[in-house]
Structures are given as C-alpha cells and as structure tokens.
Amino acid sequence: GKSSIEKLPLRSLVSPFVMIEVEDKVKENVDYALSVEDILRWEEKYGTIPNNSVVCMRTGWSSKIHDTSAYRNMDSNGVMHFPGFSKEAAEFLVFNRTINAVGIDTLSLDPGTNPNFDCHSVMLSNDKYQIENMKLDQDLPPHGGIIISFPLLMPSPECCTRVLVVAKS
C-alpha cells in the first residue's frame, strides 16, 4: 500500500457504518464473493453508501472463530475456503463510491480460494484501510451507525485494532 497505519488520518477512523449481509449466500457457497450487484441491491433498499463509510460484509463466518480448523476451512490441497469481496466489488467501492475502509468477519477480505489478494491490492493501493476477523453481530443495523476503529498506531502495514460500532437500538 501507499500508507502505513500511523499515517491514517484520524477522521478516517470514525466513519459511517454500512453492513452488507450475505450469510444466506454463504450457506449455499462458502467461497461466495460479494458482487457489485449485492452492493447495488443494498443501495436500492437503503440508499447510496454514505461518503467516507466503512463497508462491512457480514458472512456469519465469525461463528467459527473458536475452531481454527473450521475458520480456515482448508481442503486436502491446502486451499482455504471462506467468503470475501470480489475484485469487481472492491473496485466499485473504491472508484464509484467514497469509502474509508472495508471490513469482514473472515480471516481475509479476499475469498480463501483467491491466491492473488485482489481486494487487498485494490484497497491498499488506494489508501483504504481494511479490517478482518470482525465480530459483526446479527443485531447490528445495516446502516445508520458510526464505526470507530482504534488501531495500534505503529509504522506497519498491519496491526491489531479494537472496533466499536455505535448504533441506535
């Protein structure tokens, strides 16, 4: 990427929260990749993604977090199987919307079967940060909240962070 964590502007760490729910699609296909069509369907229902949002993808995968084998879901060839963002969805969010970051409840933004890390490349090369391994509870709203990220500010391309979503109940 272009910037490391300590160079993130503080204003980007407090953002409108958007959550795109795909748990049903993941139940049918664990390698599901969020599509531009999924984003457009979300916008038909809730309106255009607000500027400077953190767009999170809730797959339901975080329910597996305490079982490393299930969370990685590795096959006999060493390929992991879990959902993520498609390259096209990442490009759409970066080039057609004004976002600060993306987040997901799996161990990577890219589907486990993607060896090229396309979403990572798109996000990081355009100074968008990313949050992985999130716990996106079912009671979180699809929009209307504020997400606050508290990363360890250090000269590094990655680090641990605490994330808080403040939403109306």
Percent of the chain at pLDDT exceeding 70? 93
The confidence band for 3, taking pLDDT boundaries of 50, 70 and 90, is: low
Contact 34, 20 (CB under 8 A): yes
In whole numbers, what is the pLDDT of the chain averaged over residues? 91
Helix, strand, or coil (residue 76): coil
> What CA–CA distance (Å, rounded) separates 92 from 40?
10
Assigned token pair, 15: 């953002």
The confidence score (pLDDT) of residue 10 equals 82
pLDDT at residue 24 in the model? 96
Tell me the mean pLDDT in the region 73-87: 97
Hey, is 1 helix, strand or coil?
A: coil
Q: Indicate left, alpha or beta for 150 from its phi (over 0: left) and psi (-120 to 50: alpha).
A: beta
| pLDDT, tens only, 102-144 | 999 999 999 999 999 999 999 989 989 898 999 988 889 999 9
Output the CA–CA distances (angstroms, integers) from residue 87 to 91, 128, 130, 141, 167, in the order listed.
Answer: 6, 14, 14, 25, 29
Please check the confidence at residue 49 and state whether its pLDDT lies above 60.
Answer: yes
Question: In a 10 Å sphere around its CB, with 0-12 CB exposed, 13-18 middle and 19+ buried, how is residue 31 labelled?
Answer: middle
> pLDDT at position 150, please?
82
Q: CA dihedral in degrees (6, 152, 158, 32; nearest 10)? A: -120
Spatial separation of the C-alpha atoms in residues 7 and 3, rounded to whole Å: 6
**168 confidence band (pLDDT: 50, 70, 90):** confident
> What integer pLDDT is reported at residue 119 of this predicted model?
94
- Band of pLDDT at residue 60, cut at 50, 70 and 90: very high
The pLDDT score that the predictor gives to residue 157 is 60
Q: Which pLDDT belongs to residue 17?
A: 95
Q: Hey, what are 76's tokens? A: 């006999």
Q: What is the pLDDT of residue 45?
A: 97
